[in-house]
């Protein structure tokens, strides 16, 4: 018996999505690692399992490419939103609740197309836990977005003073160590304010390593930047290797993540 899947990506943050709405589905960590391997498997940052509870509410379960479970994923949630619209389980414009291990979240699909849709994810209310965290002689802001993030800002007065790819080099060199700096692990972001409503960001993700983009990382960076006064009032545009996403925190502190989500291809896996 084969197992069908669909591959989605949001800002090149890519996932294998499995539909468990009609029948339960589970994978071992070894199976997840094999599927996500970019040379010997299909290749992905992780997998998403979409199901529905007894009350009919959709649920998203996330697994990183190292086989560990993740509590929340902003770009993954936007991919789930696109899948629900692609499979006609929700209509464009509907605000749909999706349960996660971090609690209920929401998605709205706009400008829906077969290959790409604009999807807005509601990520709840991020919290700044510590704005004076020092690790490896660098200052970080610790933010909870339903999963843990720390964000370091390079506070140059002019972004042109930075060497090209500065934050990418920081993420690649320090991310593997700092990922384990807090109990349970943490996502590590390096951000550069490039304007009053813009950030350049690179994230080393807990359990996935360097990824082309991170939705909750973008939300954490904007939350921290607003807290420190590095940017003006949201929406804030966040530039990552995989593309651009807009993050808004409303007057009540509720965060939304607005950007494209793409269907890549469908396939099947053997037993």
Instruction: Round to whole Å and give the CA distance between 243 and 118.
Output: 13
Task: Name the β-bridge partners of 240.
Answer: 243
Annotation marks residue 73 as catalytic: yes
Q: Are residues 49 and 88 in the same domain?
A: yes
Instruction: Identify the pLDDT of residue 216.
Output: 98
20-37 pLDDT, tens per residue? 999 999 999 999 999 999
At 167, the pLDDT band (50, 70, 90 cuts) reads: confident
Q: Check whether residue 104 and residue 133 sit in a common domain.
A: no
pLDDT band at 157 (very low <50, low <70, confident <90, very high): very low
Q: Residues 6 or more apart from 164 whose CB is under 8 A from it?
A: none
Q: Is residue 35 part of a domain?
A: yes
My answer on whether 132 and 248 are in the same domain is yes
Q: What is the mean pLDDT of residues 127-134?
A: 97
d(CA 122, CA 113): 21
Q: 227 and 157 in one domain? A: yes
Residue 140 lies in a domain: yes
pLDDT digits (tens, 9 = 90+) for 206-218: 999 999 999 999 9
| Structure tokens belonging to residue 24 | 């339960």
Q: What is the mean pLDDT of the chain?
A: 94
H helix runs in the chain, sequence order = 29-36, 74-86, 166-178, 215-228
Residue 161 has pLDDT above 60, yes or no: no
Query: Distance (Å, rounded) from C-alpha 207 to C-alpha 63?
Result: 9
pLDDT band at 163 (very low <50, low <70, confident <90, very high): low
In a domain, residue 43? The reply is yes
Cis amide prior to 235 (ω within 30 degrees): yes
Q: Which residues of 12-38 are buried (b: 16+ CB within 10 A; e: fewer)?
A: ebbbbbbbebeeeeebeeebbbebbee
**Structural domain harbouring 206:** 127-253
The CATH code of the domain that includes 210 is 3.10.310.10
- Indicate if 103 and 172 belong to the same structural domain: no
The span from the CA of 34 to the CA of 211, in Å, is: 18
Q: Of 86, 112, 138, which marks where a domain is finished?
A: 112
Domain termination residue (choose one: 112, 140, 169)? 112
Cα separations in angstroms, 261 against 10, 67, 85, 95, 218: 4, 23, 11, 16, 15
pTM value is 0.94
The number of domains in the chain is 2
Q: Are residues 52 and 78 in the same domain?
A: yes
Is 270 domain-assigned? no
Kindly tell me if the per-residue pLDDT of 11 is higher than 80: yes
| 132 and 236 inside one domain | yes
Rounded Cα–Cα distance for residues 235 and 229 (Å): 14
162 pLDDT higher than 60? no
The answer to whether residues 135 and 241 belong to one domain is yes
Q: What are the tokens at 105?
A: 């979240």
Amino acid 164: pLDDT: 63
Do 138 and 226 reside in the same domain of the chain?
yes
Exactly one of 36, 73, 79, 96 is catalytic; which is it?
A: 73
Q: Confidence band (pLDDT; 50, 70, 90) for 221?
A: very high
Evaluate whether residue 258 is within a structural domain: no
Asked if pLDDT for residue 266 goes beyond 80, the answer is yes
Mean pLDDT over 126-134 rounds to 97
Last residue of a domain, one of 112, 136, 168: 112
From the list 36, 79, 96, 214, the catalytic residue is 214
Please check whether residues 71 and 170 belong to one and the same domain.
no
Q: Are residues 168 and 240 in the same domain?
A: yes
């Amino acid at each position: 018996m084969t197992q069908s899947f669909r591959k989605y990506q949001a800002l090149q943050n890519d996932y294998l999505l499995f539909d468990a709405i009609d029948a339960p589905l589970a994978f071992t960590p070894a199976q997840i690692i094999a599927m996500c391997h970019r040379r010997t498997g299909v290749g992905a940052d992780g997998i998403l399992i979409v199901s529905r509870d007894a009350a009919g509410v959709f649920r998203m379960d996330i697994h990183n490419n190292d086989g560990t479970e993740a509590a929340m994923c902003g770009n993954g949630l936007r991919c789930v939103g696109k899948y629900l619209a692609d499979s006609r389980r929700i209509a464009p414009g509907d605000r749909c609740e999706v349960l996660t291990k971090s609690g209920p979240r929401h998605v709205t699909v706009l400008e829906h197309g077969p290959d790409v849709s604009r999807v807005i994810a509601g990520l709840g209310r991020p919290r700044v836990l510590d704005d004076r965290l020092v690790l490896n002689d660098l200052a970080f802001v610790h933010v909870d977005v339903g999963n843990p993030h720390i964000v370091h800002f390079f506070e140059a007065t002019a972004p042109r003073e930075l060497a090209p790819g500065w934050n990418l080099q920081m993420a690649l060199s320090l991310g593997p160590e700092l990922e384990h700096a807090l109990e349970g692990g943490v996502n590590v972001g390096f951000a550069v304010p490039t304007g009053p409503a813009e950030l350049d960001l690179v994230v080393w993700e807990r359990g996935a390593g360097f990824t082309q983009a991170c939705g909750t990382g973008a939300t954490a960076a904007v939350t921290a930047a607003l807290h420190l006064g590095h940017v003006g009032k949201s929406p804030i545009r966040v530039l990552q290797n995989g593309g651009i996403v807009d993050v808004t925190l409303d007057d009540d502190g509720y965060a939304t993540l607005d950007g494209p989500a793409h269907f890549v291809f469908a396939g099947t896996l053997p037993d």
